[in-house]
Structures are given as C-alpha cells and as structure tokens.
C-alpha cells in the first residue's frame, strides 16, 4: 500500500521489533504484543527484553543490538535513559523507522530537550525516521500493525475503513476512534505524534493520502509547525478527490504580538489560522463530534453542485427548525418548481404541505412507500442541490426496511448528479441509523448538527469548483530603507510605485506652503509623521477645506496638535484632494511568522476594529476568491447599489486587491504590516486615501 513512500516502514511495516517487551499483556510492553496478535499482524514480531528468552510465546532478543538486518519498525517502550540507547542501537542496526513511546524528553525540561535532540541526531545519522517521543504510537488496521498502547484498541474492536486519524494528542486520537466505532465506520490508520521531534502531523497527513483506501483524514492539531508540508498535503487531497478535516486548538504564539495598524489588530493568530485552512481547503471543525459528523458525509458523498436545500420531514415543526438552522449556516432554501409541487400534490395527502420544507405527515405509517415517491421528486428538482430527510418520530409501525432501501437508493443515484442526500434525524431509532450507515448514507441523530455539517460540505464543494490561482511570474517590488513605520506620505509613494491608485496630494512643510498647494478644492489636511499612525485620535486631520485661508489655518492647527501630543519627527502636513462619494473599505496585509503573507479586506473607516466586518485571505489569490470575499462583507449591498443607488466599481476593487496581494507577497516579509484605510470604491475606479507601512527591523524579525 505504501511501499514507495518515505514513511512506508512506519505506516505499513512488514517486521516489527518491540524494545521493552513484556510478558504481562496488561503492561504497555505486553499490550503491544497482544494487539499485534489480536489484530492479525502477519509479519515478523521481534520482542526485545534484556532478561527474557521468550515473551508471550515469541523468541526474545536480549538487546536491540541483536536485531537482524532489514527490520522495518522498532517500537521503544522503556524509560527515557534506556530509550536513548535503544534508539541508537536500532539506528545502527539499520531499522527503517522507530516509534518512541517513552516520555521524559522535551515535554519535561531542558535536559529532556537535549536528550530528544540526541534521539533525532542518532536517527538521522542512519536515515531512520522517528515518531514521538512521548507519543501513543501508530496503527494500520488493514494489516493489523497496531503499535500503540491506547485503550482504543482494547475497549472496542476497531476495523478497517476509509478514514485516517492523525493527532498531536493520543487521548484525542482515542476519542476520535471511539466516535468512528460508535457510528459504525472504520479507519485505516491511527497515529498520535507526541513531541513531533521528527515526523509531524503534516507529514503523516501527506503520507496517508497516498493510500487508495483512505478517503478522509481526521486531524487534531494544537500547533502547526510544518506549514509547507501541510500545504502540499492539502493540494494532494484536492488532486486525489479526498478531504482533510481538522480540529485546530489554540493559536500560534509567534503571531501574538502587539500590532500598530488596524490590519495587525484584526489579523490575530486565530483569524490567520482560519484563513489559512480555508484557503487550502482544510475543513475546520470546532469539536470532535462535529469532526466526526463531517467525516460521515465526506466518507460517503461526492461533491455537491450547490447549497440549495430541500427538507423532507414527518414533522412540520422539525422541518421549520431545520430551515432556520440552514439559513443561519449560509445554506439556501430551494424554491421548488411548479412541476415538483404538482408531483408532491399528487402523492401526498390533501392536508400535507407541498412547500419547502415538505411535511409527509403521519400518513407514512399507512403508506410506507411515501418516501419512495416524495424523495425522488425533490431530488430531481433542478433547484435542489441537497435533500435532508428528518424523521422526528419513527414508531414501531414504520417500515424501516423500506425507508432504508428508499433513502439508500436515492443517495446513490443522486450523487451522480451532484445532489447530496443525508438523514438528519432517525426519531430515536438507532437500528435505522445503523442500517442507513451500513448502506453508505450519512446519518445523524441531531438535526442541527446535520445541517451544520452539510453546510461545511457545501462550502468545501464550492471551494473545489473555484479555479486555483494562476502561478504568477516573480514580481520585483520597490522596498524602502530603514525600519519602523513610514509616514503617510512615504507610504503612499511606495504604494504608487506598486501601481496602486492613490489620491493626489502634496507634502508641505509650513502652513503657508500648504495654502499654496495647487489642487482642486475641497481639500484635506493631515499631520505627516512616521510617529502618527492614527491621526484622527490626535485631532490632526481637517476635512472639506475650501479656500487658501482655510487650508493655511487647518495646517497650523494640525501641526500644533502634533507638537502638543509630543509627536516627532514631524515632516509637515499632507494636503490632498478630498474624495467625495463612494463607499469606504479597508485593505491591509500582515506577514505572519508561521503562515507568511495575509491580506485583509473589510469595511473601512475609523471603526474597522469595532465593526470587525472583514475577510482574511492567504495569497496567492484567485479572482474568484476575492470576489467571494467581497460578497461576504456586510457592506456588499452598499457596493452593488442598495436602495436604488448606482452600483460601484467592484471590478476595480477586485483588481486592486489582486495587485496589492501579489506585490505584498513578493516582499518576502520585509514589510510586516501595511494598512490602506480608507480605500474609496467609486462609480468608476478606486482610490487609496490613507496608507500606513511598517518596515521590518532585520535584527528583530529575521524569521518573518
């Protein structure tokens, strides 16, 4: 299965040594041998114990130095001090991969961290891959190579299936395995990475996707360290038609620093993680149960063609509640065609509702094939992309065999047309849920959870339909000298050199020079200083000025405000033409130390941090991604002509975002923050009215 992969010996070993093996099947070293036997591993098993000649009926070796050539995998389950010697011995003997279950390394103290580095150095010196230390191991359910001590493998019988579980927490991996067992679906791989001294979650995700038997990867991460590998894995999943689902706990500490711009304040670590995962098609869940529910859909369903939902229920109230959740989660209620309504009227009792949701009523008790006639009509409607079946009550007189057959047949048939069929509620009948799951129908016992999972599935399907961003040629961008914030004038000069449309303006050193600026009135006068990032709060901005006297007086006032606030150095005042009309947006960028360039688009003005109406994007960007981001903003109706107003130039805004993102990504982190706020979207074009740029200090931001 994995013969050509770098981690083949770890994921699909043909021979396994257990260093620290025990004759007691209750101990960790004995549990490993028991699991290998119980799960039917057919390869060579080599127990290693310094005091025993045989363990659990198998011949034992006294030392890892006595291992034969060509062992694929060694599992070390000894104290930390002995583990170092064992790893070194395994590496010398040419073992291809090693799992170190032992704790007492980098998770403990500085001495443990040094010992962990020694483990890695010994392994790498001989080309041996290392999982752990301080981990709960790894398992392949197809081959029976269960090299973990987790109780998951003894509490219930796990079986092979289309899912791989990869987790930085062994306990969480166990909980996910329990959920897979609870919902009667199996898993191919189970891995807990522990300290990730060598092999990371991202590398394992990338590896298990190569197995044709894996359709879904369930991942749990507390930190994302190997970002390039995770990006490569996500791209592989898209190419292969597979899905990576993830619970991401916590946020990146490296990005949690004080920010001097609006963009920096908004683009905090958790927001960046969300944008990164969304950009690369990694579907994020907020809990393990949500992750399990998502997996049920992705395991069995083809991508859906849209987000319009048709709901069928035997309870009018349940249908209405589901409709509410669907709309809240970004789904649309399908408007049924006249033909569909006529079909429903012909098959439903006269007192049944034929709108959407469809209420089949309690008549299904008397007519067990009622779903057979209703569901195909709904699934065939060209305006329905998703059919949700919700049975509020399933009494003893219901024919669950017929219900199972009807729903399963429709699920298989509709999938070929890009239509998803899922069961949101089974009315307290676990036997019905088991039958539907066995037939490949995604089935839930919580209607709201089902709707939320379907919404995420529809979003992912839309992401798959979106074209990938074109690979743009490398762009050379001008970069300023120095470090720290640039003044607004210098920031705008830089943006002009990038080809961005900037409002016309002049820098004036004195009030008299400001009055002499030759630009059409009305004008704006602003204090210009690299130390004045937020001039409005200083009272150092004057708007709507007409006449030279007003301009001169305003310039004197803002200079006085700057001096009173202790601002220095002061370059002078910026005199600009005042922009009239249009809608204000904000456009900014930050360079995240983990994820690289991020671009923020949102509503503009001084209240951007309060309103929090924004979308964070990860370059490179496709035009479709930017268009979707614009549509997601609360101000989108204002851009497209709300309440009879003329529509504004959204295409020019999209062009601006694409150009800005391309230039910012080309800086390589030399500019940690850029804030363009406001940017005016006009009826013809866009214009940047304010800009703030921060230049990196190479001494302090080498890793940016």
Number of H helices, E strands in the chain: 25, 30
Q: Residue for token digits 């279950």? A: 101
DSSP code of 429?
Answer: -
Spatial distance between the Cα atoms of 544 and 525, rounded to a whole number of angstroms: 9
Q: What is the mean pLDDT of each run of 10 residues along the chain (704 residues)?
A: 74 98 95 97 98 96 96 97 95 98 94 95 96 97 97 90 97 96 90 97 98 98 90 97 94 43 52 92 96 96 97 91 97 97 92 88 78 90 97 83 92 95 90 93 94 98 90 81 93 97 97 96 97 88 97 98 95 96 96 93 82 90 95 95 90 98 96 96 97 82 45
Spatial distance between the Cα atoms of 128 and 145, rounded to a whole number of angstroms: 19
Here the tokens at position 459 are: 């979003």
**What sign for the dihedral angle of Cα 620, 624, 628, 629?**
positive
Are 145 and 43 contacting, i.e. CB atoms less than 8 angstroms apart?
A: yes
Spatial distance between the Cα atoms of 519 and 323, rounded to a whole number of angstroms: 56
CATH 3.40.50.261 in the chain, residues?
301-465
One DSSP character per residue, 575-626 reads EEEPP-SSEEEEEEEEEETTTEEEEEEEE-STTHHHH--EEEE-SS--HHHH
Q: Residue for token digits 């390039």? A: 228
Q: What is the CATH number of domain 583-695?
A: 3.30.470.20
CATH 3.40.50.720 in the chain, residues?
8-250+264-296
Domain 504-577 in CATH: superfamily? ATP-grasp fold, A domain (3.30.1490.20)
Spatial distance between the Cα atoms of 206 and 217, rounded to a whole number of angstroms: 10
**What sign for the dihedral angle of Cα 89, 93, 94, 100?**
negative
- Would you state the pLDDT for residue 255? 40
What radius of gyration, in Å, describes the C-alpha atoms of the chain? 31
Single out the residue of 498, 536, 476 nearest to residue 677, CA to CA: 536
Here the tokens at position 8 are: 């083949």
How many of the other CB atoms lie within 10 Å of CB of 179? 19
| Beta bridge mates, 422 | 388
How many of the other CB atoms lie within 10 Å of CB of 643? 6
- Would you state the pLDDT for residue 260? 42
CA distances from 293 to 230, 273, 285, 452, 457 (A): 23, 22, 9, 9, 11
CATH 3.30.1490.20 in the chain, residues?
504-577
φ/ψ of 536, rounded to 5, equals: -60, -40
Q: Taking every pair of C-alpha atoms in the chain, what is the biggest distance, in angstroms? A: 101
DSSP code of 134?
Answer: S
Are 348 and 355 contacting, i.e. CB atoms less than 8 angstroms apart?
A: no
Query: What kind of architecture, by CATH, is found in domain 8-250+264-296?
Result: 3-Layer(aba) Sandwich (3.40)
Q: Residue 46: in which H helix or E strand, if any?
A: strand 44-48
* Cis before 339? omega within 30: no
> Angle formed by the axes of helices 400-415 and 370-380, to 10°?
20
Q: Residue 557: in which H helix or E strand, if any?
A: helix 548-564
- Would you state the pLDDT for residue 5? 61
CA angle at 141 for the pair 201 and 102, rounded to the nearest 5°: 50
- Would you state the pLDDT for residue 264? 43
Are 31 and 149 contacting, i.e. CB atoms less than 8 angstroms apart?
A: yes
How many of the other CB atoms lie within 10 Å of CB of 478? 11
Spatial distance between the Cα atoms of 452 and 282, rounded to a whole number of angstroms: 16
Distance of CA 334 to the CA centre of its chain: 28
301-465 has CATH 3.40.50.980 classification: no
């Amino acid at each position: 299965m994995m013969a050509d992969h770098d981690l083949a010996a770890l994921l699909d070993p043909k021979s396994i040594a257990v260093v620290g093996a025990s004759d007691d099947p209750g101990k960790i070293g004995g549990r490993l041998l028991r699991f290998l036997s119980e799960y039917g591993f057919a390869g060579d098993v080599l127990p290693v114990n310094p005091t025993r000649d045989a363990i659990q009926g198998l011949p034992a070796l006294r030392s890892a130095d006595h291992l034969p050539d060509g062992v694929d995998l060694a599992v070390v389950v000894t104290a930390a001090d002995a583990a170092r010697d064992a790893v070194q011995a395994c590496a010398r003997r040419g073992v291809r991969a090693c799992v170190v279950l032992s704790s007492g390394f980098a998770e403990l103290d500085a001495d443990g961290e040094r010992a962990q580095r020694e483990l890695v150095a010994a392994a790498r010196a001989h080309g041996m891959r290392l999982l752990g230390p301080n981990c709960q191991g790894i398992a392949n359910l197809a081959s029976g190579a269960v090299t973990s001590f987790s109780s998951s493998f003894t509490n219930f019988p796990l079986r092979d299936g289309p899912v791989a579980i990869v987790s930085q927490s062994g306990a969480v991996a166990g909980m996910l395995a329990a959920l897979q067992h609870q919902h009667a679906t199996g898993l191919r791989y189970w891995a807990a990475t522990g300290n990730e001294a060598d092999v990371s979650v991202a590398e394992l995700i990338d590896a298990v996707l190569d197995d044709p038997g894996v359709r879904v990867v369930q991942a749990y991460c507390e930190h994302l360290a190997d970002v390039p590998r995770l990006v490569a894995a996500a791209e592989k999943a898209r190419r292969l038609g597979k899905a990576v689902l993830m619970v991401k706990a916590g946020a990146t500490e490296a990005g949690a620093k004080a920010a001097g711009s609006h963009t920096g304040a908004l683009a905090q670590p958790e927001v960046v993680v969300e944008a990164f995962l969304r950009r690369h098609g990694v579907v994020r869940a907020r809990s393990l149960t949500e992750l399990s529910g998502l997996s049920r859909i992705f395991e069995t369903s083809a991508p859906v063609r849209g987000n319009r939902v048709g709901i069928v229920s035997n309870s009018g109230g349940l249908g209405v509640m589901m409709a509410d959740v669907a709309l809240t989660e970004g789904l649309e209620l399908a408007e049924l065609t006249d033909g569909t309504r006529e079909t429903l009227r012909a098959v439903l009792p006269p007192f049944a509702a034929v709108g959407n949701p469809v209420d089949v009523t309690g008549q299904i008790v008397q007519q067990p094939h009622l779903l057979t006639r209703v569901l195909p009509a709904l699934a065939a409607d060209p305006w329905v992309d998703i059919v949700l079946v919700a049975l509020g009550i399933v009494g003893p007189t219901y024919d669950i065999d017929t219900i199972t057959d009807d729903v399963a047949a429709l699920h298989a048939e509709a999938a070929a047309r890009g239509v998803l069929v899922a069961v949101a509620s089974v009315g307290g009948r676990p036997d019905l849920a088991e039958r539907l799951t066995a037939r490949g129908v995604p089935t839930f016992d919580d209607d709201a959870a089902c709707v939320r999972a379907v919404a995420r599935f529809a979003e992912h399907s839309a992401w798959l339909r979106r074209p990938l961003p074109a690979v743009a040629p490398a762009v050379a961008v001008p970069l300023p000298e120095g470090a720290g914030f640039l003044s607004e004038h210098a920031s705008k000069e830089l943006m002009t050199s990038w080809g961005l449309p900037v409002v016309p303006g002049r820098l004036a050193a004195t009030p008299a020079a400001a009055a002499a600026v030759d630009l059409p009135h009305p004008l704006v006068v602003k204090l210009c200083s690299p130390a004045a990032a937020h001039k409005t709060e200083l009272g150092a901005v004057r708007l709507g000025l007409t006449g030279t006297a007003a301009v001169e007086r305003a310039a004197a006032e803002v200079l006085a405000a700057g001096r009173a606030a202790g601002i220095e150095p002061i370059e002078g005042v910026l005199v600009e033409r005042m922009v009239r009309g249009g809608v204000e947006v904000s456009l900014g960028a930050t360079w995240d130390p983990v994820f690289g360039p991020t671009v923020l688009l949102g509503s503009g003005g001084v209240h951007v941090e309060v309103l929090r109406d924004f979308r964070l994007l990860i370059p490179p960007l496709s035009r479709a991604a930017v268009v979707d981001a614009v549509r997601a903003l609360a101000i989108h109706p204002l851009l497209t002509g709300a309440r009879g107003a003329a529509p504004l130039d959204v295409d020019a805004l999209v062009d601006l975002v694409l150009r800005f993102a391309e230039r910012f990504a080309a800086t390589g982190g030399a500019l940690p923050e850029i804030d363009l706020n406001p940017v005016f979207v006009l009826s013809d074009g866009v214009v940047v009215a304010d800009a703030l740029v921060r230049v990196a200090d190479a001494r302090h931001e080498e890793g940016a």
